[in-house]
Chains A and B, each alone.
Chain A
Amino acid sequence: MVRLEKRPQPSKLWTYLTPLVAVICTMVAGGALFSLLGKNPVEAIATIFWEPLFGEFAFYYRPQLLIKGAPLVLIAIGLSLGFRAGIWNIGAEGQFIIGALTGAGVGLAFYPAEGWYIFPLMMIAGAFGGWVWAMIPAILRTRFGTNEILVSLMLVYVAEQLLAKMALGLLRNPDGHGFPGSRNFQQYPSGHNAELITGTGMHWGVVAALIAVIFAYVLLNRHILGYHIRLAGQAPRAARFAGVSPTRLVLFCLGTSGALAGLAGMFEVSGPAGQVSIDFNVGYGFTAIIVAFLGRLHPVGILLAGLLMALTYIGGEIAQSNLGLPAAAIQMFQGMLLFFLLAIDVLTNFRVRLSRREVV
Chain B
Amino acid sequence: MSAALLRISGLTKAYPGVVANDDVSFEIAPGEVHALLGENGAGKSTLVKMIYGLVKPDSGTMTLRDAPFTPAEPRAARAEGVAMVFQHFSLFEALNVAENIALGMEHPPKMRDLATRIREVSDTYGLPLDPYRTVGDLSAGERQRVEIIRCLLQDPKLLIMDEPTSVLTPQEVEILFRTLRKLTDEGVAILYISHKLEEIRSLCDHATILRLGRNVGSCVPRETSARDMAEMMVGQAFEAPARAGRELGEVALDVKDLSLSAPSEFGTALKNLTFTVQMGEVLGIGGVAGNGQDELLAALSGEMPSTPGAVLLKGQPIGRLGPVARRALGVLAAPEERLGHAAAPDMSLTENALLTGAQREGLLSRGFLKWRATEAFANRIIDTFDVRTPGPDNVARSLSGGNLQKFVIGREVLQRPEVLIVNQPTWGVDAAAAAAIRQALLDLAAGGTAIVCISQDLDELMEISDRFCALNEGRLSDIKPARGLSVDEIGLMMGGAHGMDLAHA
Contact = CB atoms under 8 A, between A and B. Distances in A.
Q: Which of A222, A223, A235, A241 has the largest number of chain B CB atoms within 10 A?
A: A241
Contacts of B369: 222-224, 227
Contact residue range for chain A?
A: 20 to 34
Contacts of B344: 231, 234-235, 238
B298 to A, nearest CB: 8
A241 B332 CA distance: 10
Contacts of A237: 337, 340-341
A231 B355 contact: yes
A235 B340 contact: yes
A83 to B, nearest CB: 15
A360 B72 contact: yes
B324 interface: yes
Given A9-B398, A224-B364, A238 B342 contact: yes
B327 to A, nearest CB: 7
Interface residues of B, number: 36
Interface in B319-373: 322-325, 327, 333, 335, 337, 340-347, 351, 354-356, 358, 364, 367-369, 371
B341 A9 contact: no
Contact of B323 (A9, A225, A231, A241): A241
Contacts of B340: 235, 237-238
Given A10-B346, A234-B344, A234-B347, A242 B356 contact: yes
Interface string A225-243: 1010011001101101111
A186 to B, nearest CB: 42
A235 B323 contact: no
A143 B398 CA distance: 38
B419 to A, nearest CB: 16
A245 B368 contact: no
A358 interface: yes
Contacts of A243: 302, 322-325, 327
A237 B340 CA distance: 6
B335 A235 contact: no
Q: Which of A223, A225, A238, A360 has the largest number of chain B CB atoms within 10 A?
A: A238
Interface string A26-53: 0000000000000000000000000000
B398 A8 contact: yes
A184 to B, nearest CB: 43
A223 B398 contact: no
Interface string A199-235: 0000000000000000000000011110100110011
B360 to A, nearest CB: 12
Given A243-B327, A360-B72, A238 B355 contact: yes
A323 B344 CA distance: 51
B395 interface: yes
B303 A240 contact: yes
A10 B396 CA distance: 12
A142 B505 CA distance: 45
Given A222-B368, A223-B368, A224-B364, A241 B303 contact: yes
Nearest to B346: A234
A234 B345 contact: yes
A281 B498 CA distance: 65
Contacts of B117: none
Interface in B385-439: 394-395, 397-398
5 contacts: A235-B343, A237-B337, A242-B355, A358-B72, A360-B72
